[in-house]
Chains A and B, each alone.
Chain A
């Protein structure tokens, strides 16, 4: 297996994690905004 493919095999996981980080950050922010707008507790 080439070094390029093996490097991609290692580095794809943090890239995927970064994507999840963006999705969750947006999700948490939306939850906070929704809770404030409706005057309810976040949890």
Chain B
């Protein structure tokens, strides 16, 4: 395996972060606007917004995990990661339009929930995002440390620290605006790297003859494009997790609130294709590794892609690969910093601590201090080095409990705060009990859970159909989906614990939320949300 010299890796790292920092000087303002710090001007153009959306979704973990999936599940493995991940981007845009319609001046989704239901639901969404974004930061810093320690003489800790300080340096002053600006350049570099590296690696491993020479290394499931194992162990749980991620995650909502309203659809479709092509393409490296008989070093699948790069790429392309990974993790990490600062500024300070009189200048400093604190936390947690894919599924399922109540709250005027809160808590509790083996998945209890899991599958299908085709089609698809899944799920879904627990988060929250709402006689006026969610800067002028 090749390694980059100390001088080369330092030049790459400092060059990358210095360039990002210099770019942000162009947009830096001595007195930043609090709203601009969180969502820019709400009218970002197509190129910048689509680049930023894509860059935020493509993180180092998605590249490593897609390749791991390709290695583990063979022919369809990369598809079962990248395709579903891409689909989630498409899934959110009809709901995104609704979010913008009811609250054109929103900064966070939790802020909209505050206007709709009050503090309890707002805090659920806000705190789940704090947890999710800190985990994301940790994962990205871990990826930086692992990459640097594998490809250079620097240590894991040194890699983590350089990435953390680098990302913080260019994001701290201008917040979200800096994140979007740097995302565009970082993404263009990342795509260029992917476009060159994927074919190069393919031909370096033998090109078309690799399929002839290496096909015997695949088992029956790995050689089957319609592999049941790949679908049930990787595709389906990930699909369900990322759908929740698309709705619940502030990094995505923030871009949604920032893009010019008439460009939402175009932006999301481009980001869908961009994410899919990059992540599936890089995920194919795992499939190629399987065909080539390559074993991941130390048995860790996260090492697979860097290890292949170090083995097969010449020095110039190895530098390009290094930039690809650093770009992917930095663009997501700066989005996490912006998301966390917005939540602290809006949901903790603006809507609660400020008692109706937020000070925009103080708000910005709260955002900046938040960035420093969470960066330190991300670095500290990076030492844990947990399994990336499992964490992604866990965080996604956490948001799975929130998805249905959040969406229906913005369409159905009968949903109350009680319905929202009880449904999320019940769903999350059931998820934990099943996911962590607290309850036995046997007997009548296993059957009941499988029924709720089938409802969860129906909810997922129904929500997707609802977003694009409206209420009637959504309800019909949800019902058909539940009935279609139930015969398969009965006595079988319990064997796929990750899938069952994720579906339960959807199923239980939907049943409880709908049930409690049906007993509510009060009606909510959605126009109130727009009146309650306003710009902080203009409100104080």
Q: Do A and B come from one complex?
A: yes
| B350 close to A (CB within 8 Å) | no
Q: Select which of B50, B181, B276 is within 8 A of A27 by beta carbon.
A: B50
Q: How far is A39 from B248 in the complex, measured between Cα atoms in Å?
A: 35
Binds A, one of B204-212, B367-375, B515-523: B204-212
Q: How far is A13 from B67 in the complex, measured between Cα atoms in Å?
A: 14
Q: How far is A5 from B195 in the complex, measured between Cα atoms in Å?
A: 19
Tell whether, in the assembled complex, residue A30 and residue B47 are in contact, meaning their CB atoms are under 8 Å apart: yes
Given A10-B288, A41-B41: A21 in contact with B47 (beta carbons within 8 A): no
At the interface, is chain B mostly helix, strand, loop or mixed? helix
Tell whether, in the assembled complex, residue B270 and residue A24 are in contact, meaning their CB atoms are under 8 Å apart: yes
Q: How far is A18 from B195 in the complex, measured between Cα atoms in Å?
A: 6
Interface residues of A in 14-37 (CB under 8 A from B): 14, 16-21, 23-31, 34-35
Q: Which residue of chain A lies nearest to B48 when distances are taken between CB atoms in the complex?
A: A31
Chain B positions within 8 Å of A43 at CB level: 27, 40-41, 44, 48, 177, 180-181
Q: How far is A35 from B35 in the complex, measured between Cα atoms in Å?
A: 19
Tell whether, in the assembled complex, residue A14 and residue B208 are in contact, meaning their CB atoms are under 8 Å apart: no
Tell whether, in the assembled complex, residue A24 and residue B274 are in contact, meaning their CB atoms are under 8 Å apart: yes
CB distance from B299 to the nearest CB of A (A): 25
Tell whether, in the assembled complex, residue A17 and residue B211 are in contact, meaning their CB atoms are under 8 Å apart: no
| B46 close to A (CB within 8 Å) | yes
Chain A positions within 8 Å of B44 at CB level: 31, 43
Given A18-B195, A31-B48: A11 in contact with B277 (beta carbons within 8 A): no
Q: Which of A26, A27, A43 is packed against the most chain B CB atoms within 10 Å?
A: A43
Q: How far is A7 from B201 in the complex, measured between Cα atoms in Å?
A: 12
Q: Select which of B54, B184, B195 is within 8 A of A14 by beta carbon.
A: B195
| B240 close to A (CB within 8 Å) | no
Tell whether, in the assembled complex, residue B281 and residue A13 are in contact, meaning their CB atoms are under 8 Å apart: yes
Q: Select which of B40, B187, B196 is within 8 A of A24 by beta carbon.
A: B187
Q: Select which of A9, A24, A31, A35 is within 8 A of B188 by beta carbon.
A: A24
Q: Number of residues in B with C-beta < 8 Å to the partner?
A: 41
A-B interface pairs (CB < 8 A), number: 114
Given A10-B288, A28-B184, A43-B181: A16 in contact with B273 (beta carbons within 8 A): yes
Q: How far is A41 from B41 in the complex, measured between Cα atoms in Å?
A: 9
Given A7-B208, A13-B280, A17-B194: A27 in contact with B47 (beta carbons within 8 A): yes
Chain A positions within 8 Å of B94 at CB level: none
Tell whether, in the assembled complex, residue B188 and residue A25 are in contact, meaning their CB atoms are under 8 Å apart: yes
Chain B positions within 8 Å of A14 at CB level: 194-196, 198-199, 277, 281
Chain A positions within 8 Å of B476 at CB level: none
Chain A positions within 8 Å of B181 at CB level: 42-43
Tell whether, in the assembled complex, residue A20 and residue B48 are in contact, meaning their CB atoms are under 8 Å apart: no
Q: How far is A35 from B212 in the complex, measured between Cα atoms in Å?
A: 53
Tell whether, in the assembled complex, residue A3 and residue B212 are in contact, meaning their CB atoms are under 8 Å apart: yes
CB distance from A5 to the nearest CB of B (A): 9
Q: Mark B175-186, 1 if CB is under 8 A from A, else 0.
A: 001001100100
Chain A positions within 8 Å of B46 at CB level: 27, 30-31
Q: How far is A29 from B45 in the complex, measured between Cα atoms in Å?
A: 10
Chain B positions within 8 Å of A7 at CB level: 202, 207-208, 211
Given A31-B47, A42-B48: A17 in contact with B199 (beta carbons within 8 A): no
Interface residues of B in 381-402 (CB under 8 A from A): none
Q: How far is A11 from B44 in the complex, measured between Cα atoms in Å?
A: 33
Chosen A-B contacts, 10 in total, with CB atoms closer than 8 Å, are A11-B202, A17-B191, A25-B47, A28-B184, A30-B46, A31-B48, A34-B45, A35-B45, A42-B27, A43-B41
Task: Tell me the B residues contacting A by CB distance below 8 Å.
Answer: 27, 40-41, 44-48, 50-51, 54, 177, 180-181, 184, 187-188, 191-192, 194-196, 198-199, 202, 207-209, 211-212, 270, 273-274, 276-278, 280-281, 284, 287-288
Contacts A43-B27, A43-B44 supplied; 11 other A-B pairs, CB < 8 Å: A11-B202, A14-B281, A20-B270, A20-B273, A24-B50, A24-B274, A25-B47, A28-B48, A31-B44, A31-B45, A43-B177
